[in-house]
């Protein structure tokens, strides 16, 4: 135990190899030990004090960090649910919830309380054990993802050297929970929903992973903090602008991640107009709330990952200045992507299941492979990220967008004439 403590306390403590919180860890440990030695120990009987484990302070700090983590992140979905309702209301010329609290800001809280008190119905013919387990699997996995996301230089729970790999791995466990929920409910709608979800998530993992691979090829690391660190030279060093291929990869990543979190236009697993509510049809009360919270936590998580990988993470727009940088910048960028997701959701209709697969296997995966090829060639031509390579990349992106816009103008002119009658 004392070795362990020495390791934590030593100045050479290597953050990247540990699982422990990084929020002013050293200060926290010292403070906790001082607190125990100066406050707790004198008050204890001497017989106990001499044997009192001082390391308990370290453990307590870890628990406190975990408590903050567990306590703070579930609040995020509460905010996001309200935000979604308000944003959708704005898109539809409505006001959204207005009754609970000023401007309805406490609505989600009220809903949560309501869900807590609702009957917890378990289908008697279903698989009881799996039915109870499924929401926790989904909930745990969606929050475990947050452990590897660097919110700022100092706010990250753990900096693995395989951070992005860990995120990919953990987030694909969610599909297990979905299948469990669908199977154990003993409902045909649930089963349909969960199988749709399984097919969808497994398929969209591939373009997602391939897009991440382009980033990994450029950064030559799986560590999230190193990925962020490589984007520290302002907006044009962000990986999205680094090569034209990452620009495409960003969109593939973003759309695939919308599919991963089951949102419109890819919300087939819970398509309300087709299969009622999909895999969580039979859930009620707090178990349903867990699904709901997990869904919104996921939504934020994928946005945060997209920001980390492509949009500079917590790095600012300009190299020297802290514009859109740090923790607030990171959150603003992530919420921007969340808003984009909401915007898409309240605009688009839903795909059919075969079209969903078409989109993935016929469009995203080939383009993602093309991206990898392109990124590799780009890496051969420009081994180092220089001003020249960035300028060329940005020029190509600009020209591409302009060309697309011009073609749009032409297609607009060639719009189909009104139907003759």
Partner 1 sequence: MDKYIRNIYRGVYTVLVGMRVTIRQFFEPNVTHQYPYEHDYEKKRNVREIPKGYRGQLYNRIEDCIGCKKCEMICPVDCITITGTKLPRGEQLWDSMNVVHLKDGTEVIGIIEGDDKKIKSEDSITLTNITSRLGSQEVIDRLEPSGAESRTATFSGDEVSRVVTRNPVVFYLDQFDIDMSLCMYCGLCTEVCPTECLVMKDSLEGIEYSKFDRSDLIFNFDKQEMYSKGGTEDVEAAD
Partner 2 sequence: METTQQTESKIIELKPFADEMVVNMGPQHPSTHGVLRLELKLDGEVVREAIPHIGYLHRCFEKHSENLSYPQIIPFTDRMDYVAAMNQNWGFCLAVEKLMETDESRNFEVPERAEYLRVLICELNRIASHLLSFGTYGMDIGAFTPFLYAFRDRERLLLLFEKVCGARLTYNYIRIGGVSEIIPMEPGSIAEQNFLDEIEAFLDYFEPLIDEYNDLLTKNSIFAERTTRVAVMSAEMALSYGATGPNLRGSGVDWDLRRDEPYSIYDRFDFDVPVAVDVPELGSVVGDCWSRYKIRMDEMKESVRIVRQILAEGLPSGPVMADLKAVRPPQGEIYFRSEAPRGELGFYIVSDGTPKPVRLKGRSPCFSALSALQELSRGLMVADIIAIIGSIDIVMGEVDR
Judged by the rule CB under 8 A, the positions of this chain that interact with partner 1 are: 90-95, 98, 343-344, 346-348, 363, 404, 407-408, 411
Rounded to a whole number of angstroms, the minimum distance from the CB of residue 399 to partner 2 is 25
Rounded to a whole number of angstroms, the minimum distance from the CB of residue 188 to partner 2 is 5
Nearer to partner 2, 89 or 122 (CB): 89
* Residue 26 to residue 30: CA distance in whole angstroms: 6
Rounded to a whole number of angstroms, the minimum distance from the CB of residue 351 to partner 2 is 6
Torsion of CA 214, 168, 298, 304, to 10 degrees: -40
Burial track 179-198 (b if 16+ CB lie within 10 A, e otherwise): bbbbbbbebebbbbbbbbbb
Residue 408, binding choice from partner 2, partner 1, none, Cβ under 5 to 8 Å by partner class: partner 1
Nearer to partner 1, 158 or 303 (CB): 303
Nearer to partner 1, 63 or 343 (CB): 343
Contact at 8 Å (CB) between 173 and 141?
A: yes
Contact at 8 Å (CB) between 196 and 269?
A: yes
Nearer to partner 2, 62 or 261 (CB): 261
Rounded to a whole number of angstroms, the minimum distance from the CB of residue 277 to partner 2 is 9
Residue 66, binding choice from partner 1, partner 2, none, Cβ under 5 to 8 Å by partner class: none
CA angle 197/200/205 to nearest 5° reads 120
Residue 118, binding choice from partner 2, partner 1, none, Cβ under 5 to 8 Å by partner class: none
Question: Which residues lie near partner 2 (CB under 8 A)?
Answer: 88, 91-94, 188-189, 192, 196, 264-265, 267-268, 271-276, 346-355, 416, 419-421
Summarize the chain as % helix, strand, coil (round to 5). Answer: 70, 0, 30
* Residue 80 to residue 195: CA distance in whole angstroms: 27
Rounded to a whole number of angstroms, the minimum distance from the CB of residue 355 to partner 2 is 5
Nearer to partner 1, 176 or 344 (CB): 344
Task: Determine how many CB atoms are found less than 10 A away from the CB of residue 114.
Answer: 11
């Amino acid at each position: 135990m004392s070795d362990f403590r020495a390791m934590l306390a030593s100045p050479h403590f290597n953050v990247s190899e540990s699982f422990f919180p990084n929020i002013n860890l050293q200060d926290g440990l010292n403070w906790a030990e001082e607190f125990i030695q100066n406050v707790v120990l004198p008050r204890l009987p001497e017989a106990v004090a001499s044997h009192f484990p001082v390391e308990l302070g370290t453990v307590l700090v870890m628990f406190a960090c975990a408590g903050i983590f567990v306590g703070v992140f579930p609040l995020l979905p509460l905010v996001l649910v309200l935000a979604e309702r308000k944003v959708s209301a704005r898109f539809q010329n409505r006001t959204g919830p207005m009754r609970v609290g000023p401007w309805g800001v406490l609505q989600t809280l009220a809903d949560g309380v309501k869900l807590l008190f609702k009957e917890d119905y378990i289908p008697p013919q279903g698989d009881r054990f799996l039915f109870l387990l499924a929401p926790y699997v989904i909930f745990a996995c969606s929050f475990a993802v947050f452990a590897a996301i660097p919110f700022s230089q100092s706010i990250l729970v753990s900096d693995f050297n395989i951070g992005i790999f860990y995120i990919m791995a953990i987030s694909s466990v969610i599909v297990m929970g979905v299948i469990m929920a669908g199977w154990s409910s003993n409902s045909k709608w649930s089963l349909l929903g969960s199988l749709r979800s399984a097919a969808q998530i497994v398929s969209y993992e591939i373009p997602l992973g391939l897009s991440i691979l382009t980033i990994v090829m450029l950064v030559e690391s799986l560590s999230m903090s190193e990925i962020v660190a490589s984007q520290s030279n302002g907006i044009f060093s962000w990986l999205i602008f680094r090569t034209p291929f990452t620009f495409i990869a960003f969109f593939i990543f973003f759309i695939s991640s919308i599919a991963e979190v089951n949102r419109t236009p890819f919300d087939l697993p819970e398509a309300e107009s087709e299969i009622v509510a999909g895999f969580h049809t039979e859930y009620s009360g707090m178990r349903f709330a867990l699904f709901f919270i997990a869904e919104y936590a996921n939504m934020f998580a994928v946005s945060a990952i997209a920001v980390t990988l492509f949009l500079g993470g917590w790095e600012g727009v300009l190299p020297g200045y802290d514009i859109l940088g740090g923790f607030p910048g990171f959150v603003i960028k992530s919420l921007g992507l969340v808003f984009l997701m909401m915007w898409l959701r309240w605009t688009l209709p839903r795909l059919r299941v075969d079209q969903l697969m078409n989109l993935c296997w016929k469009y995203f995966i080939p383009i993602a492979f093309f991206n990898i090829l392109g990124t590799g060639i780009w890496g051969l031509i420009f081994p180092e990220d220089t001003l020249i390579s960035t300028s060329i990349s940005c020029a190509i992106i600009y020209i591409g967008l302009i060309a697309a816009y011009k073609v749009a103008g032409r297609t607009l002119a060639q719009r189909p004439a009104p139907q003759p009658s």
